[in-house]
Amino acid sequence: MSTADRNSVVVGVDGSESAWAALRVAAGVAAKRGLRLKIIHALDFAPYGFGGPYIDSGGVFEWVEASGKSILQDAEALARERKADLEIKTELSIGSSAQWLVDLSEQARVIVIGASGVGAATTALLGNNAVSVTTHAHCPVVVVRGEIRPEAPVVVGVDGSATSVRAVEVGFQEADLRGVPLVAVHVWSDLGPTAFEDPRAAALVPRGIEDEEEAVLAEALAGWQEQFPDVHVERRIYIDNPRARLLDWTEKAQLVVVGSRGRGGFRSMLLGSTSNSLISQANCPVVVVRPESN
């Protein structure tokens, strides 16, 4: 399915503050892009021993279902505060919210999910689902957490991998849509922050490596600046510690875009482990871009 065919933004809600934050972001994305908004809520009976010998299963179902419907009604009302004529569909289902979101990602333009969820009686525990969804989704996933900074730049992590190429594309699209600069961050070593403190280790770094890494970053950005001429691009190259570098940028970005996994090796950023760190620690929303589906 082409990107043009993906005309919906899907967001999961569970009644938690994190989910409401995700909903506001999802509604804004749908409104700006002229897309439909699909709001889902998964009924979770596990905390109540549904089906047990001493539980009124019918009563539990009615109570949990009513709570879920109420959450969806509140969610639709909140979304319409962003855009009254937004095309909205709500849906209730029983089962794993993570698997449901992954299934829906096959037709969605983007999935939006809260970084953590406490929820009410029908909580889907969105926080526990964030890693599962970003790992298996078929489209980009926005994990909403931290501060919202509308005037701040979009930051994209670049390592030259195929997934990183898709992240760069999404980064340019987001920066262009928001009218802000794009900061392209390339970390050429997966080593930690103290690896090169010893002069003997620093001496082992090949000569000309900085020029080579400048070329890697330039190649990753080639073509996109022509497609998005209004996007001002800033380039940042670091020697080590990709997780810390990108986490630092989450303190001053409005959005950080990374691939769900990188190519690995000494000269690249392990975006897979980095993306997991970001969705649990970032201080701004994070977009995790998945590899192209076969």
The C-alpha R_g of the chain, in whole angstroms, comes to 21
pLDDT, one tens digit for every residue, the chain (294 residues): 345 458 999 999 999 999 999 999 999 999 999 999 999 999 865 554 545 444 545 566 687 788 899 999 999 999 999 888 999 999 998 878 889 999 999 999 999 999 864 444 333 444 457 888 988 899 999 999 999 899 999 999 998 778 888 999 999 999 999 999 999 999 876 555 555 555 555 555 555 556 677 887 888 898 898 999 999 999 998 877 788 899 999 999 999 999 886 444 333 344 456 788 898 899 999 999 987 654
- At 164 the pLDDT is 85
Q: Which residues lie closer than 8 Å to 56 by C-beta, 6 or more apart?
A: none
pTM for the full predicted model: 0.81
> Are the beta carbons of 87 and 39 closer than 8 angstroms?
no
What is the C-alpha to C-alpha distance for residues 22 and 99, in angstroms, rounded to an integer?
18
> Are the beta carbons of 182 and 281 closer than 8 angstroms?
no
What is the C-alpha to C-alpha distance for residues 104 and 184, in angstroms, rounded to an integer?
30
Q: Which pair of tokens denotes residue 2?
A: 């082409």
Q: Which domains does the chain have, with CATH numbers?
A: 3-144 (3.40.50.620), 154-289 (3.40.50.12370)
CB atoms within 10 A of CB 201: 12
Helical (H) or strand (E) element with 156: strand 154-158
Q: Read out DSSP for 60-87?
A: HHHHHHHHHHHHHHHHHHHHHHH-TT--
> Are the beta carbons of 156 and 168 closer than 8 angstroms?
yes
